[in-house]
Amino acid sequence: EAQVTQNPRYLITVTGKKLTVTCSQNMNHEYMSWYRQDPGLGLRQIYYSMNVEVTDKGDVPEGYKVSRKEKRNFPLILESPSPNQTSLYFCASSPTLGVDTDTQYFGPGTRLTVL
């Protein structure tokens, strides 16, 4: 089944404790992206990647890191989480060629709470 998976789905952590949220897609998509969703603020892009080893900042990159060493994986790293990073996070992927270009396929979301 074509899908985007994220792990963990729920995470409660404490300020300053490094964490990684994994994202993996099995559709051979070139483009991958991370978003955070907060009440009243909609969907905001954190980082995106047009292909392997190519990443770029989105609208709210501060406090986050990403890497794209393989096409299928795009982990989101919080080196020193803070309470203002408490949010719902979505990973998405899309092809950059063909009839499905730019069509985003979303993962199920990761609800992160930083105490």
Q: In degrees, to the nearest 5, what angle opens at C-alpha 102 toward C-alphas 109 and 36?
A: 30
Site for other proteins (CB under 8 A): which residue of 15, 80, 84, 103? 103
- Cα separation, 104 vs 114, in Å, equals 28
Q: Is 25 in the site for other proteins (CB under 8 A)?
A: no
Nearer to other proteins, 86 or 106 (CB): 106
| Interatomic CA distance for residues 2 and 28, integer angstroms | 10
Of 33, 74, 78, 112, the residue at the interface with other proteins (CB under 8 A) is 33
Binding mask 70-89 toward other proteins (x if CB under 8 A, else -) reads: --------------------
The residues, ordered by sequence, that sit 6+ positions from 98 with a Cβ below 8 Å of its Cβ are: none
Cβ nearer to other proteins, comparing 20 with 106? 106
Residue 94 touches other proteins, criterion: CB under 8 A: yes
> Is 108 near other proteins (CB under 8 A)?
yes
CA 97 – CA 101 distance, rounded (Å): 5
User: Maximum CA pair distance of the chain?
Assistant: 44
Query: Distance between CA 52 and CA 32 in Å, rounded?
Result: 10
What residues make contact with other proteins under the rule CB under 8 A?
A: 30-31, 33, 35, 41-43, 45, 48, 50, 56, 58, 90, 92, 94-97, 99, 101-104, 106-109
